[in-house]
Structure 1
Amino acid sequence: MKRKTYIAISALAVIIVSVIMGGSFYMLGYSLDPDPNRRDIDSALQVLYGRAPFMKAWTDSVRGNGLLRDTFITSVDGRRMHAVYMRGDSACGRTAIVVHGYKDCHVTFLYIGRMYQERMGYNILLPDLNAHGLSDGESIQMGWKDRKDVIRWAEVAEEMFRDSTGKSQIVIHGVSMGAATTMCVSGENLPEYIKCFVEDCGYTSVWDEFRNELHDEFSLPSFPLMYTADMLCRMKYGWGFTEASPVSQVRKCRRPMMFIHGDKDTFVPTWMVYRLYEAKPGNKVLWVAPGTEHARACLDHPEEYAGRVGAFIASAVVSGQTSSASEK
């Protein structure tokens, strides 16, 4: 009898462990496997036009006239990384690096680039993150390892766009996962020419974001899948959900940062921006866009968005100072 009980318990334990590990592998693949159609730029353009129909004429014009150009670099570990760039008419060494969101690419946030190029006269550079768009890569990195690639793109932008006196002023502006990437960049030891950051609806950490999605999409608790998937991520990709923490990076940031979030965001819950804002020392600005869901602040409030971002950057870049302010 005892032997049968032992066998039954052991079999049940094996089944439970198998289910948990199977669920963990599924969760990791579901979250970090790239879109198999990520290189389909025509489809990405249709996504852009669906979000922002006003962008079609502009995009066709700048692409048709060769103003929006491709560039490729090789990362330190041998990956081929892609970006597009466009020169501003009166940039004078000022450049905005615009970082796209999760399973998007440079195309789908061209409207942010247009804002900088048209409204502010900036050069623009829009990279494809690892395993997105035309960049190489086997897995999505949720902004964590991407921070090193964006710093490399900033070096490229500084070389390409420095003014006649050899000076550059670079703003890094990211949306969603691109915002998380931007915040992860902000905590590093950076060159002087990176002046400030704009993060739009970024998450506090990968752990917090995945936990939120596990609950909202699958109605599952954090334990045990979050813990086993985190372990698998560390083993397979060399980073963990808690390690990939924009809020920890923001605590180390000593340059001006603007925080933007929609007050109706449930994909990256609005509460996250308050924690991020509180963690950031020194110069910072917060704008919570009314009635706005995830990654739609610029589309819902285009004039106010451009005005607020422009005012922040003018203060942060030109004078080197910006006051702390929180606005709804």
Structure 2
Amino acid sequence: MITGGSFFMLGYSLRPDAKMTRKNATAYEYMYATYPFLESWVDSLQNAGALRDTVIADPQGVRLHAFYAAAPEPTDRTAVIVHGYTDCAVRMLMIGYLYNRDLRYNILLPDLHYHGQSGGKAIRMGWKDRLDVLRWMDVANAVFGGETRMVVHGISMGAATTMMLSGERQQPYVKCFVEDCGYTSVWDEFSNELKSSFGLPAFPLMYTASWLCDLKYGWNFHEASALKQVAKCELPMLFIHGAADDFVPTWMVHPLYQAKPGEKDLWLVPGVGHAYSYRDHKEEYTARVREFVGRYIH
């Protein structure tokens, strides 16, 4: 029974195929309904041939996809923008708008492993994705001139990915990070979801499912820790979290913020649920990102 439960949990968490297929199929429709100002901006980029596709292969030969667009005027300022769980690059175009249209940055938006137009066997919750995004950062730097000044901005699982990669050695072009509602670790996030959705304790399913994940996909829930990685981050980071978030519980931002050494800011957004800080407070979100990132990318 425990073995069967572990297989179910792994499939439920890391291969929610039907949900992702629906979200991919309706990504533009959803974005234009939620953020009506995006449609004319995306149309203008597409009509000018400015919103482009690129692909790379990971070390195992898996095809990975990204969109990118140059700034309206030539600049070395560049943002790499990382989407959340079961989302895709298209569903991060509102943050693309913030950087490209409002702040006049070059942008690159990758589809993480198993998301959007990228290949792969299963969701990796940001852990192995951190290495792919580091490769995408190199791609963005090269595409936009080779001497960029870069921010990485992620939401939800993309924020966890951003924190996970922030603990790795950084190239000189990377200047700062923005994480919006990321989790402390995969173990903490899955334990919370197991309890809130199914009323089950961590033991024994979390332990057996983590072991199975290691066996099948080469990583486990314990090692996939944004908390441990952000403690090694040497560059500035802005932390954003909705004060009413119960999917990635708001409490998670506090140990993350405390663990981060050096320069950092925290914005707790009153009354906001998971990943809706930009949607519900667009002007303030833009202003806070502009001010924080602008300290390090002039």
SS of the residue corresponding to residue 171 of structure 1 reads strand
Q: CA deviation at 1:41?
A: 4.7
Q: CA deviation at 1:44?
A: 1.2
Instruction: Provide, for residues 141-185 of structure 1, a one-character-per-residue CA deviation record: whole Å limited to 9, x for no partner.
Output: 0000000100000111111112xxx52111100000000000011
Farther off after superposition, 27-36 or 183-192: 27-36
Q: TM-score, normalised by structure 2?
A: 0.96
Q: Does the CA-based 8 Å contact 1:170-1:194 persist in structure 2?
A: yes
C-alpha distance in 1 between matches for 2:102 and 2:24: 26
Q: CA deviation at 1:61?
A: 2.8
Match of 2:80 among 97, 121, 124: 97
Match of 1:243 among 202, 213, 223: 223
Q: CA deviation at 1:92?
A: 1.9
Q: CA deviation at 1:91?
A: 4.7
SS of the residue corresponding to residue 258 of structure 1 reads strand
Match of 2:105 among 110, 122, 129: 122
Match of 2:198 among 208, 212, 218: 218
C-alpha distance in 2 between matches for 1:231 and 1:42: 33
**CA 1:309 to 1:91, structure 2 compared with 1: closer, same or farther past 3 Å?**
farther
Alignment partner, residue 171 of structure 2 = 191
Match of 2:295 among 303, 310, 315: 315
Instruction: Provide, for residues 294-318 of structure 1, a one-character-per-residue CA deviation record: whole Å limited to 9, x for no partner.
Output: 0000111011001000100111233
Q: CA deviation at 1:59?
A: 2.2
Residue 52 of structure 2 corresponds to residue 84 of structure 1: no
Residue 213 of structure 2 corresponds to residue 230 of structure 1: no
Residue 246 of structure 2 corresponds to residue 253 of structure 1: no
Residue 197 of structure 2 corresponds to residue 209 of structure 1: no
C-alpha distance in 2 between matches for 1:60 and 1:42: 18
Alignment partner, residue 3 of structure 1 = none
Alignment partner, residue 66 of structure 1 = 49
C-alpha distance in 2 between matches for 1:74 and 1:30: 26
Task: Calculate the aligned-residue CA RMSD, in Å.
Answer: 1.4
C-alpha distance in 1 between matches for 2:58 and 2:64: 7
Q: CA deviation at 1:39?
A: 9.0
Aligned sequence identity (%): 56
Alignment partner, residue 259 of structure 2 = 279
Q: CA deviation at 1:46?
A: 1.8
C-alpha distance in 2 between matches for 1:51 and 1:228: 39
Q: Give runs of ≥4 in structure 1 deviating > 3 Å.
A: 36-42
Match of 1:113 among 96, 100, 106: 96
C-alpha distance in 2 between matches for 1:174 and 1:159: 21
Q: Does the CA-based 8 Å contact 2:82-2:89 persist in structure 1?
A: yes
Alignment partner, residue 271 of structure 2 = 291
Q: TM-score, normalised by structure 1?
A: 0.88
Q: CA deviation at 1:54?
A: 2.7
Determine which structure has more spread, i.e. the larger CA radius of gyration. Answer: 1
Alignment partner, residue 24 of structure 1 = 6
C-alpha distance in 2 between matches for 1:35 and 1:102: 12
C-alpha distance in 2 between matches for 1:156 and 1:196: 17
Give the residue type in structure 1 aligned to 2:122: S
Alignment partner, residue 180 of structure 1 = 160
C-alpha distance in 1 between matches for 2:203 and 2:30: 36
